[in-house]
Structures are given as C-alpha cells and as structure tokens.
Amino acid sequence: MKKMFGFIICLTALLTVAFFTTSNETTTPDNDVPMVGILQLTSHPALDLIYQGTVDALNEAGYIDGETVLLDFQNAQGDQSNLNSMSTRFVSRGADVMVGIATPSAQALANSSKEIPIVLGAVTDPEGSGLVESNEAPGGNITGVSDLTPIKEQFSLIKEILPDAQTIGILYSSSEDNSIVQAEQAIDIATEMGLETQIMTVSSTNDVAQIGATLASQVDAIWVPTDNTIASAMNTLVTAADSNTIPIFPAVDTMVEEGGLATVGLDQYELGRLTGEMVVAILNGESDPSTTPIQYLDQGDIIINEEKAKELGITIPTHLLEQMK
C-alpha cells in the first residue's frame, strides 16, 4: 500500500511538471520569429486597405503571421489614449518593427521609441509632421510611405467636370496635421486657377453633418483632403451635400466609392503594399530607416462615380470616362 501511495505521488509530480512545461512552451513566443506591431488610427475603408496591402506584401515575402512572423495588430478607434497605450505595448513586447497607419498613429509610435524601426503607412508629410529630419534623408529610426495626393490634378479635374464652378468649399479636420498641410496647398492651387474658396473645419465626426450642410449651401463643390475624421463620417457628409445637390471631390479613391463624385487618387491598397515592402526590407537587414527616403506612389488614377454623376445631373466629359480607372 505504501509503495502504491508513493507511486501515485511520483506520478502526480511528473504530470504537474509536464503540464507547466507544456504551458510555458505554448505561451512563450519563439525568439527566432520577428514581431511586427501595426497600429491603425481607426476603421474606415482607406486605412483598412492600407493594412491589408501591408499584410499581403509581408505574406508574399514569406512573412506569414503565426509562422514566420508575429503580427500584433491594434486599432485605436480614433482614441489618443489608445494610441499611446498600444504603442507602449509594442515596445514592451520587444517589437522588431512598428508600423503606423495614419499620422496620429505614427506620432504615437515615434514618441514611444527612438530605437525600434518605424515604418509610416500613409503619412502625408513626414517632415512637416516632425517625424523625420527630411523626407529625403530621415536621419532616425523612421521611414515609410507618404499618401500625399496630387492636389493640383484634383482641382484640374474639378474644372473639367464643372467648368462654371466659381467657389470650392474645403472641409477638413483642424486636429489632423496632415489635413492642414493639404488644405493650405489646396487653397494656393485654387487661387492660382482663379477659383474662390470657402474654408470650414471640424473637430470631430459629430460636427460633419451641420458644418457640411452649411458649407454645401455656400459653394459649387466640396473638396476634402486625405482626412481620417472626414473619411470616418463620409456617409454623413454625402447626405449633407446631396440635400443641396452639391458634388464632393475627395482626395481618396475609397471616398468616391462612398458617394463622392470624382478624384485623381492614389490606390490605398498599393500604398499598403509599398509599406509592407519597406517592412520586409528592414526585417531582411536590407534597409536602414535613417538613410531610406520616404517613398511615394508614381501617379494617381482618375476615379469617377458615374452613378453619383447621374444622381446629381452632372455630365462627365467623354475623354475623362475613357481615362478613368
């Protein structure tokens, strides 16, 4: 009986050791597998496509989540405190590379580490936002992709579609550095083209309905930059503009799909792919952020919402329809 009792105790001890050993192996990440933290500001189609493009580029290079790389994706849902805590999470977990999708995300990551490589996914003006020393020679731990849109081409498109337009409304978020930069450029370009501008800003998505309706009642068309606040409330802005039969010319291709009329826009998915390729180069030891210039897409595509044009009674020139994506 005593021998049996002793055997049971020994067996129990062995099983206990085996259990904790197995549990430890399951929860401890493989140190040989790199970790990439991806921080997205909020959810809207443009940013979602950038994320998907980033992941697809990693996959094609052989970096498969859960196998050859650990991807820690965090979405801050537009909350600054979330951006800060999620950035700290990446650092504490020992991320090998961090990706910031949208300017506020990138700024939060930059504040969290001066050593871990950071790749910008769709930051309009990295230099102007204070993220790099210059767009040509970043000089620190940050490089990445700019989503600076072809604003001059966008205003030329407005003039081609609406040759009689005189006043263009410009609507953007006053809290987004990237939007301020674009709006300033748009004002100068519109003035050069002989167009008057009416400027209004919002501080949150809650302002879009009222301010959008007010602006739509005073202008011939509305232009909006690459702006995360506006993008998150695009349906609201479209409703306000439609009630005044005013077309919206957004800077982003996905916003045309959501009810804008037309744009010369960058492919958001391709921006993501370019972001992912830069992450791969860093993981492979082929790129140093300090000496890697900010990357840009070569050209934009003409994107037209024909259904919206019919709804608003606007005739799109044939040559533009032939050039559209």
Q: CATH number of the domain at 280, please.
A: 3.40.50.2300
On whether both 192 and 316 belong to a single domain, the answer is: yes
Q: Are residues 44 and 164 in the same domain?
A: no
As a whole number, mean pLDDT of residues 88-93 equals 97
Is residue 210 pLDDT above 60, yes or no?
A: yes
- CA 240 to chain CA centroid, nearest Å: 25
Per-residue confidence at 134, pLDDT binned at 50, 70, 90? Answer: very high
Same domain? 105 vs 245: no
Q: Is the pLDDT of residue 11 over 60?
A: no
Same domain, yes or no: 173 and 315? yes
Per-residue pLDDT at 24 exceeds 90: no
Residue 66 included in any domain: yes
Q: Are residues 188 and 232 in the same domain?
A: yes
Residue 30 within a domain: no
The C-alpha atoms of residue 202 and residue 157 are separated, in whole angstroms, by 25
Structure tokens at 208: 């879009």
> Would you say residue 183 lies in a domain?
yes
Give every CB contact of residue 178 below 8 A, 6+ residues apart in sequence.
Answer: 102, 103, 123, 124, 125, 129, 225, 226, 227
pLDDT at position 115 is: 97
Q: What is the mean pLDDT of the chain?
A: 91
Task: Say whether both 97 and 140 belong to one domain.
Answer: yes
Q: Which pLDDT band holds residue 30 (cuts at 50, 70, 90)?
A: low
Among 170, 279, 276, residue whose Cα is nearest residue 218: 170
For residue 260, is it within any domain? Answer: yes
In a domain, 14, yes or no: no
- What is the reported pLDDT for 31? 63
User: Which position has the higher pLDDT, 23 or 295?
Assistant: 295
Residues contacting 27, CB < 8 A, separation 6+? none
Q: Domain tally for the chain?
A: 2
End-to-end CA distance of the chain: 84
Q: Is 202 helix (H, G, I), strand (E, B) or coil?
A: strand
* Residue 4 maps to a domain: no
Residue 321 has pLDDT above 60, yes or no: yes
Judged against a pLDDT cut of 60, whether residue 104 lies above it is answered with: yes
- Residue 143 pLDDT > 50: yes
Give the lowest-confidence range in 27-36, 89-98, 123-132, 292-301: 27-36
Looking at the structure, do residues 191 and 278 belong to the same domain, yes or no? Answer: no
Answer yes or no: do 170 and 124 share one domain: no
What is the pLDDT averaged over residues 225-247?
A: 96
Residue 155 shares a structural domain with residue 280: no
CA R_g for the chain: 25
pLDDT at residue 324, as a whole number = 87
Question: Domain check: are 236 and 122 in the same one?
Answer: no
Alpha helices in the chain, H assignment, sequence order = 2-27, 45-60, 80-92, 103-112, 151-161, 177-192, 208-216, 228-232, 234-242, 253-257, 268-283, 306-312, 318-323
Q: Which of 195, 196, 194, 199 is nearest to 184 (CA)?
A: 199
Q: Are residues 74 and 188 in the same domain?
A: no
**What is the pLDDT, as a whole number, of residue 239?**
98
Q: What pLDDT shows up at residue 21? A: 38
Q: In the predicted model, what is the mean pLDDT of residues 285-296?
A: 97
Q: Does residue 28 belong to any structural domain of this protein?
A: no
Lowest mean pLDDT among 15-19, 77-81, 205-209, 301-305: 15-19
Q: Supply the range of the domain harboring residue 228.
A: 151-265+301-323
Report the sign of the C-alpha dihedral through residues 85, 87, 34, 280, in that order: positive
| 125/170 same-domain check | no
| Whole-angstrom distance, CA of residue 48 vs CA of residue 75 | 10
Residue 25 maps to a domain: no
Average pLDDT of span 2-21: 44
